[in-house]
Amino acid sequence: MGRRSVLAASATLAWAAWAQPVLAQPAARPRGLHSVVDFDEATWARLVEKGPRPAAYVFTASYCPNCPDAFEKLRAFVTESRRPVELGVVLMDLEGAKALAHARHYAGATRLYAFQGFEPAIRQSVDPKWPNVTPYIVLLGRDGSVQRSIGAPEEAVLKKWLL
């Protein structure tokens, strides 16, 4: 193998390694979710304080037929933005293997959470006024701004979020 080939291979490897995090965004082939993170009454405060930004959290339930559509609109917007965004899905009524099985409806999510504990208390830790309607979507901006929506957020809200 000549030097040029080695150089070319090296450069290709370097580009691929550099590009990997970008391609791992929802913009490209969705990564599979292989684990579920517990979401309890303290989780939301930790996410708001120390979690990644920008981020979107889609609170959903297995019985919610509107939720995958809302997620897909959000994912498409993130994809188009070409920016690294945390795209979390929070299942309120399933846990463990059942939650993972349900994750196939949310291809492109970066993380899967499942409620652990008394559902109303966890819900109120996210928003005391959230009336248990799903999908409930919270957008955390890079600057710490918080926007909430029942159903898919409006285009203007999404643009403001990733400004």
Which residues are registered as beta bridge partners of 115? 39
**Residue in 43, 58, 109, 126 binding another protein, rule: CB under 8 A:** 43
- Interaction of residue 7 with another protein, rule CB under 8 A: yes
Name the 3-class secondary structure at 163. Answer: coil
- The answer to whether the beta carbons of residues 139 and 153 sit under 8 Å apart is yes
Sheet with 111-115, side-by-side order of all strands? 37-39, 111-115, 86-91, 55-60, 136-140, 146-150
Q: Determine which helix (DSSP H) or strand (DSSP E) holds 115, and give its type and residue range.
A: strand 111-115
Give the one residue of 56, 90, 102, 139 binding another protein; rule: CB under 8 A. Answer: 102
Q: Name the amino acid, one letter, at 114.
A: A
Token pair in block for residue 141:
């901006």
In this complex, which beta carbon is closest to another protein, that of residue 20 or of residue 145? 20
Mask for 55-74, x = binds another protein (CB under 8 A): ------xxxxxxx-xx----
Q: Is 29 in the site for another protein (CB under 8 A)?
A: no
Task: Quickly tell me which residue has 């994750």 as its tokens.
Answer: 103
Residue from 22, 28, 133, 163 that binds another protein (CB under 8 A)?
133
Question: Interface with another protein by CB under 8 A: which residues?
Answer: 3, 6-7, 10-11, 13-14, 17-18, 20-21, 24, 35-43, 46-47, 49-52, 61-67, 69-70, 93, 95-98, 102, 110-111, 113, 116, 118-121, 124-125, 128-129, 131-135, 150-152
